[in-house]
Structure 1
Amino acid sequence: MTYQAEQERVTFVLPLYFLKAEVTFTGQSTEDGLTVPLTPGNGPRVSISTRQFAKGFWLARLSWSVGRDRFCSEGWFEIA
């Protein structure tokens, strides 16, 4: 995961042959989350705009599957 503050986006790189993936964003000051499904076939690099996100710390949890195997990766970023 790479957060690019100046472009207001967060970018993920997935395996080429993932079957299903989603990113869940959870703000530090809120219990509400935003889940974004990701579609295979658009390449391994996926960028999501953070323009609508409130200022503060956010946890991004990326979950994906390849075959029968499931994977998860997390990372924090700050919108100032």
Structure 2
Amino acid sequence: MTYQAEQEKVTFVLPLYFVKAEVTFTRQSAEEDLTIPLTPANGPRVSISTRRFAKGFWLAQLTWSVGRERFCSEGWFEIA
């Protein structure tokens, strides 16, 4: 995961042959989550705009599957 504050986006690079993926964003000071499904047709590099995200610390949880294997990765970023 790479957060680019000046471009207001967060970018994920998935394995080339992933079957299904989704990213869930959770703000530290809120109880609501935002889940975005990702499809293989979009390619392995996916960028998501953060322009509408409120200021604060956000946790991005990326889950994906390749074959029958499931994987997860997460990271924090701050929108100031």
TM-score bracket relative to the smaller structure:
over 0.9
1:19 corresponds to: 19
Q: What TM-score results when the alignment is normalised by the length of structure 2? A: 0.98
How many residue pairs were aligned? 80
Residues 6-46 of structure 1, C-alpha deviations (whole Å, 9 max, x = no match)? 00000000000000000000001101000000010221100
Q: What TM-score results when the alignment is normalised by the length of structure 1? A: 0.98
List 4+ stretches of structure 1 deviating above 3 A. none
> Which amino acid is 2:50 matched to?
T
Structure 1 segments unaligned to the other structure (5+ residues): none
Backbone CA RMSD of aligned residues:
0.4
Among all aligned residue pairs of Structure 1 and Structure 2, give the percentage whose two residues are the same amino acid. Answer: 85
Structure 2 segments unaligned to the other structure (5+ residues): none
